[in-house]
Amino acid sequence: MQTTIFPLPSFQLSSVAFFGRGFEEYVSMFDLDADALRGRRVLDVAAGPSAFTAGANARGIDATAVDPLYGLSPDALTTHALIDHRRVVAEMRRKPELFQRGTFGSIDEAVAARAESARLFLRDYEEHFVHGRYVGGALPELPFADGAFDTVLCAHLLFIYARQLDLDFHLAACRELARVSRGEVRIYPAAGADGQPYPEIDRLRAELAALGIALETRPVPHRFFVGSGTMLVLSSRRR
């Protein structure tokens, strides 16, 4: 008898999308205490058109964002954001079973929040790129000194794009995130595009432990994408 294996539904994009979330969504994705971060240096890696950095600076947090596309003109980034918004939203609407009510009451509500995030980002980028708030750079080599930031955040790049980015990339990226942080690194979500835990997590944990970097999984209040109720936290034992 032939057995048919049905693959788990998965959020599929052919390349990493320039698509971002807002300040409040970051607070719940990373379980942040925004008051405690006031005056602290925070880095958002793979920040895309996220409005976290704009919102954080407006609240007295010394936040910087880094993304490979920063350095392009505001017009060029607007085009990237518009095209990728359509691409991501089309995939969300194709696979509503991958989303649950919680942080948002519906997919439409989430789509509107992310469109607003891109709008806030583009306005802030236009004004503050020249001040170094938005820096061009890519993992696994970031253009920052060792321990330059109190907290480092990275959302929706690692694990989610495991089809495109292999274990070596994930290991080098985690190492680099830990290098530029003098505190914690928080990575969200701790799940892949199918909402399942990263299959190589045990190897990643072992390789990082050998480098003196501890990896733990922590619950977060955010609920939207399936399996997205946890983040990974890296902390360097050699600090």
115 interacts with ligand SAM by CB under 6 A: no
- With CB under 6 A as the contact rule, the residue among 11, 19, 144, 198 that binds ligand SAM is 19
Single out the residue of 37, 63, 139, 220 in contact with ligand SAM (rule: CB under 6 A). Answer: 139
Number of residues that bind ligand SAM (CB under 6 A): 19
Q: Does 67 bind ligand SAM (CB under 6 A)?
A: yes
- Two structure tokens written together for 62: 């010394």
Q: How many CB atoms lie within 10 A of CB 211?
A: 13
Contact segment (CB under 6 A) with ligand SAM among 65-73, 94-102, 197-205, 210-218 equals 65-73
d(CA 3, CA 139): 41
For ligand SAM, the nearest residue by Cβ is: 48
What's the angle, vertex CA 138, arms to CA 134 and CA 141, rounded to 5?
Answer: 115
- The answer to whether 82 contacts ligand SAM (rule: CB under 6 A) is no
| 8 A C-beta contact, residue 203 and residue 184 | no
Minimum Å gap between C-beta 161 and ligand SAM is 8
Q: Output helix, strand, coil percentages for the chain, rounded to the nearest 5.
A: 40, 20, 40
Least separation in angstroms between CB 21 and ligand SAM: 4
Min CB(171)–ligand SAM separation in Å = 14
DSSP secondary structure code for residue 137 in this structure? -
23 versus 213: smaller Cβ distance to ligand SAM: 23
How deeply is 40 buried, as exposed, middle or buried, from its count of CB atoms within 10 A (0-12, 13-18, 19+)? middle
Residue from 11, 43, 48, 181 in contact with ligand SAM (CB under 6 A): 48
Instruction: Using alpha carbons only, give the angle 100, 10, 160 rounded to the nearest 5 degrees.
Output: 90
Residue 3 beta carbon to ligand SAM: minimum distance, rounded to whole angstroms = 35
156 is a contact residue toward ligand SAM (CB under 6 A): yes
Distance CA(88)–CA(124), nearest Å, equals 23
Among 89, 107, 138, 148, binds ligand SAM (CB under 6 A): 138
Residue 143 burial (10 A CB sphere; 0-12, 13-18, 19+): exposed
158 binds ligand SAM (CB under 6 A): no
Binding residues for ligand SAM, per CB under 6 A? Answer: 16-21, 45-48, 50, 67-69, 138-139, 155-157
